[in-house]
């Protein structure tokens, strides 16, 4: 493989930037551009040791740096690796990177360092995906789950099920292929017990996916209501700063304004929509249509009503449109005399708030957690990092059920074996042990460059 290089720290001004080289020529390339202050060459350094020196190109010193060497296979990628820590200016770090490229390295693709770690057997595919989750974690639960993924907890859980299926396949194959040998036949009862155990394990692994996804990705949330009920004021109150324009003129918001806010460990991906009502204004009507589409796609609806007025037909129509969706009704302007007719909104998920005074919003987190059944969520078990893993597990569960039902129906063991084999293949694809090149490329394309 070629020797690759990239800036592995953020592309921004900071105290330190780190440039990483990995591949057969990593040490030789570093040796051409690095001069240590004690005169020792990079090629003579031991693994896991550092040298202080300078990067010199065409006789010109670029920067004082700290250079660290990792010798294969004892490195992140499993290859010879060199890490150069220079000052964190954008210009100087790019000059050091350019020096590496000019001396024979190739720019790394997104996720290529971790991809090489996977290809060299340093990580399973699920552990590699855990690396991406650690980088993108936005809360304690997501970080804990990502660390478990990186430590191989999901791999271990899936591998236990896969091993049981492979053991079944081995026993069935041996009995079928060598009928004259004294090999005990796999009896239906023990096979049923094993399949039922695999089915239970797979269901348990799948059960926490939705809760885990919410902690990782957040909840797509639409703030909806008529014009001038306080939707933008509510969004600004939740964010803690002015994001949406607020005026006394109805219809100020004509497009969807999007931002994210944290409620404990959960992120709400907020969309402040145009006021929903009948309008003759062409531009405003487009905004209303977008708001209605957002109601159809959002996972959570925050329906804002003006508590200082009685409900009208537009309010009642809006309430009807969200009654079968996860929603919370926020009766706003609680600092004014309450005139709203409550009989239309007695559905349990109601908060009386004053967005202007930022009062009454403290219970929103509890309501969201209750609505999505997150209060009892335990981030300690291994959960899926993404849809790819979930789909593999679902496919495995489907074929385990098929095999179970085929056995109960009295079909031949050959027919049962086909589905057990499909289930095992799905789990091997999940862990990366039997993943296609296209699947591997897709996984690592989501990584940042330099990791």
Count CA atoms closer than 13 A to 285's CA, side-chain side: 5
Residue 445 confidence (pLDDT)? 75
Residue 253 confidence (pLDDT)? 43
Domains delineated in the chain: 4-108 (3.30.1360.120), 132-208+383-444 (1.20.120.430), 215-371 (3.40.50.300)
Residues 6+ apart with CB under 8 A from 363: 351
**Looking at the DSSP assignment, which residues form a beta bridge with residue 223?**
272, 302
- Rounded-to-integer distance, Cα 171 and Cα 189, Å: 14
Sign of the Cα torsion 78, 83, 88, 89 reads negative
Residue 188 confidence (pLDDT)? 77
Residue 257 confidence (pLDDT)? 67
Structure tokens that stand for 195 in this block: 């399949």
- Rounded-to-integer distance, Cα 67 and Cα 43, Å: 12
What parts of the chain have a pLDDT lower than 70? 130-152, 174-186, 208-213, 215-216, 241-257, 274-289, 291-292, 346-348, 376-385, 435-436, 439, 443
438 CB burial (10 A radius; 0-12, 13-18, 19+): exposed
Residue 284 confidence (pLDDT)? 54
Pairing of strands 60-70, 81-87: antiparallel
Residue 112 confidence (pLDDT)? 92
Q: What is the DSSP string of 411-434?
A: --HHHHHHHHHHHHHHHHHHHTTT
Residue 43 confidence (pLDDT)? 95
């Amino acid at each position: 493989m070629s020797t690759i290089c990239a800036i592995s720290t953020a592309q921004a001004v900071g105290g330190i930037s780190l440039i990483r080289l990995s591949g057969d020529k990593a040490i030789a390339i570093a040796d051409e551009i690095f001069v240590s202050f004690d005169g020792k060459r990079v090629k003579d350094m031991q693994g896991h040791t550092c040298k202080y020196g300078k990067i010199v190109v065409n006789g010109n010193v670029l920067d004082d740096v700290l250079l660290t060497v990792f010798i294969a296979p004892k490195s992140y990628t499993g290859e010879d690796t060199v890490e150069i820590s220079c000052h964190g200016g954008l210009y100087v770090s790019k000059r050091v990177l350019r020096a590496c490229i000019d001396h024979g390295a190739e720019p790394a693709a997104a996720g290529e360092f971790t991809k090489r770690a996977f290809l060299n057997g340093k990580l399973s595919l699920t552990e590699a995906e855990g690396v991406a989750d650690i980088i993108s974690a936005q809360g304690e639960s997501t970080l804990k789950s990502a660390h478990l993924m990186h430590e191989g907890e999901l791999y271990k859980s899936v591998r236990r099920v896969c091993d049981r299926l492979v053991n079944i396949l081995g026993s069935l194959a041996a009995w079928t292929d060598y009928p004259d040998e004294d090999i005990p036949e796999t009896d239906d009862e023990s096979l049923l017990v094993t399949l039922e155990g695999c089915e239970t394990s797979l269901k348990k692994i799948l059960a926490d996916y939705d809760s885990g996804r919410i902690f990782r990705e957040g909840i797509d949330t639409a703030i909806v209501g008529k014009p001038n009920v306080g939707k933008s004021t509510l969004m600004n109150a939740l964010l803690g700063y002015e994001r949406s324009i607020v005026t006394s003129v109805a219809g100020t918001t004509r497009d969807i304004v999007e931002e994210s806010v944290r409620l404990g460990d959960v992120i709400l991906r907020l969309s402040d929509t145009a006021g929903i009502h009948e309008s003759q204004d062409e531009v405003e009507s487009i905004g209303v249509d977008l708001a209605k589409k957002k109601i159809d796609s959002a996972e959570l609806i925050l329906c804002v009503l003006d508590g200082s007025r009685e409900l009208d037909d537009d309010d009642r129509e809006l309430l009807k449109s969200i009654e079968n969706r996860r929603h919370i009704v926020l009766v706003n302007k609680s600092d004014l005399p309450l005139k709203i007719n409550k009989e239309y909104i007695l559905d349990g998920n109601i908060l009386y708030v004053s967005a202007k005074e930022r009062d009454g919003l403290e219970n929103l987190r509890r309501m969201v957690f209750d609505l999505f059944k997150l209060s009892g969520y335990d981030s300690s078990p291994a959960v899926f990092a993404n849809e790819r893993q979930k789909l593999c597990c679902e496919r495995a569960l489907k074929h385990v059920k098929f095999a179970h039902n085929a056995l109960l129906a009295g079909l031949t063991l050959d027919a049962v074996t086909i589905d057990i084999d499909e289930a095992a293949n799905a789990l091997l694809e999940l862990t990366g042990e039997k993943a296609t090149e296209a699947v591997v490329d897709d996984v690592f394309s989501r990584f940042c460059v330099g990791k």
